[in-house]
């Protein structure tokens, strides 16, 4: 059964969130019993092949989130608002969030940042009944302005800004908060200061929950493991080896075998000759 917001916010166990981008991803996440599914704009990196999340559009997010929902009708689903869809004013943000909710069946949306502009968007959306998950620390949509994809909150000013942003997002009405790639002790402090759950990625074990990009935890891409993710499978290797085996069997005329083929009666065939 789908967890309600109050259930998620009072969970005695760490919350489990994974990303999904399509129907099989939604099915697997729901069958595994995760607490929340995030249709992340990491879609751009791991599914669409971009080198950042900036090119991802609202139409992309809606298209993929609809497929996830078909695979996971009974899991709390959060959808990322992509870059540019909540930065041009509160009304645009509201309109785009409503589209995501109406067209995908999302339970909540997520957005990055804690600037005064973002805080007023969070306030407006939550006052109008759209649950918002916040996101501070490393924020891939604006990583260039953050000096690249690197640990945030390490020095005094950056740590203070991250902490204050988190507190302000809770005050603005966010129901939960992603902490991405910040020192574990800063994440612990933030998690203790807030009453809403924090969901960490590269933010240590003291958060109220954890999130991973599913393609990272599955090992969809062969090569080096990321520091912030643990690989629980080698799906990339399994996929490549399966395709190699299929290719070899086709070339050796081993596939399709008799069992994969259909038969017909000799007398029917004889008439054709």
Chain positions contacting ligand KIV, by CB under 6 A: 19, 38, 40-42, 80, 178, 180, 201, 211, 213
Q: Which is nearer to Na ion, 121 or 271 (CB)?
A: 121
Q: Which residue is nearest to ligand KIV (CB)?
A: 40
| CA dist., res. 15 & res. 8, Å (int) | 7
From the list ligand KIV, Na ion, none, pick the one residue 19 interacts with, judged by a Cβ distance below 5 to 8 Å according to partner type: ligand KIV
40 binds Na ion (CB under 5 A): yes
From the list Na ion, ligand KIV, none, pick the one residue 22 interacts with, judged by a Cβ distance below 5 to 8 Å according to partner type: none
Q: Which is nearer to ligand KIV, 19 or 85 (CB)?
A: 19
168 binds Na ion (CB under 5 A): no
71 binds Na ion (CB under 5 A): no
Give me the numbers of helices (H) and strands (E) for the chain, helices first please: 11, 8
The span from the first CA to the last CA of the chain, in angstroms, equals: 60
Cα 236–Cα 238–Cα 243 angle in degrees, nearest 5: 95
Whether residue 150 is annotated as binding a ligand: the answer is no
Q: Is 180 a catalytic residue?
A: yes
Whether residue 158 is annotated as binding a ligand: the answer is no
- Give the shortest CB-244-to-ligand KIV separation in angstroms: 30
| CA dist., res. 190 & res. 179, Å (int) | 9
Whether residue 80 is annotated as binding a ligand: the answer is yes
Please list, in sequence order, all residues whose beta carbon lies within 8 angstroms of the beta carbon of residue 38, skipping any fewer than 6 positions away: 17, 18, 19, 20, 77, 78, 79, 80, 110, 211
Query: Residue 88: what are its φ and ψ, rounded to 5°?
Result: -115, 30
- Give the shortest CB-42-to-Na ion separation in angstroms: 5
- Give the shortest CB-54-to-Na ion separation in angstroms: 11
80 binds Na ion (CB under 5 A): yes
- Give the shortest CB-80-to-Na ion separation in angstroms: 4
| CA dist., res. 79 & res. 109, Å (int) | 5
Number of Cβ atoms within 10 Å of the Cβ of 175: 19
Residues with a known catalytic role: 180
* Binding site residue list: 41-42, 80, 110, 112
């Amino acid at each position: 059964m789908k967890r309600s917001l109050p259930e998620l916010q009072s969970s005695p166990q760490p919350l489990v969130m994974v990303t999904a981008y399509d129907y099989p991803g939604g099915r697997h996440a729901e069958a595994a019993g995760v607490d929340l599914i995030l249709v992340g704009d990491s879609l751009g990196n791991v599914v669409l092949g971009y080198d950042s999340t900036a090119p991802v559009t609202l139409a992309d997010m809606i298209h993929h989130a609809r497929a996830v929902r078909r695979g996971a009708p009974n899991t709390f689903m959060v959808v990322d608002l992509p870059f540019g869809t909540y930065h041009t004013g509160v009304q645009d943000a509201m309109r785009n969030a409503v589209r995501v909710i109406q067209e995908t069946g999302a339970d909540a949306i997520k957005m990055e940042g804690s600037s005064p502009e973002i805080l007023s968007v969070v306030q407006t959306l939550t006052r109008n009944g759209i649950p918002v998950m916040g996101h501070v620390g490393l924020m891939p949509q604006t990583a260039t302005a953050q000096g690249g994809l690197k640990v945030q909150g390490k020095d005094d000013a950056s740590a203070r800004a991250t902490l204050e942003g988190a507190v302000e997002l809770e005050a603005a009405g966010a129901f939960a908060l992603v902490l991405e790639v910040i020192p574990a002790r800063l994440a612990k402090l933030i998690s203790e200061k807030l009453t809403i759950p924090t969901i960490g990625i590269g933010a240590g074990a003291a958060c109220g929950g954890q999130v991973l990009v599913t393609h990272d935890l599955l090992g969809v891409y062969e090569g080096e493991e990321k520091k912030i993710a643990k690989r629980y499978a080698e799906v990339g290797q399994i996929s490549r080896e399966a395709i190699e085996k299929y290719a070899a069997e086709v070339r050796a005329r081993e596939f399709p075998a008799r069992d994969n083929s259909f038969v017909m009666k000799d007398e029917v065939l004889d008439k054709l000759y």
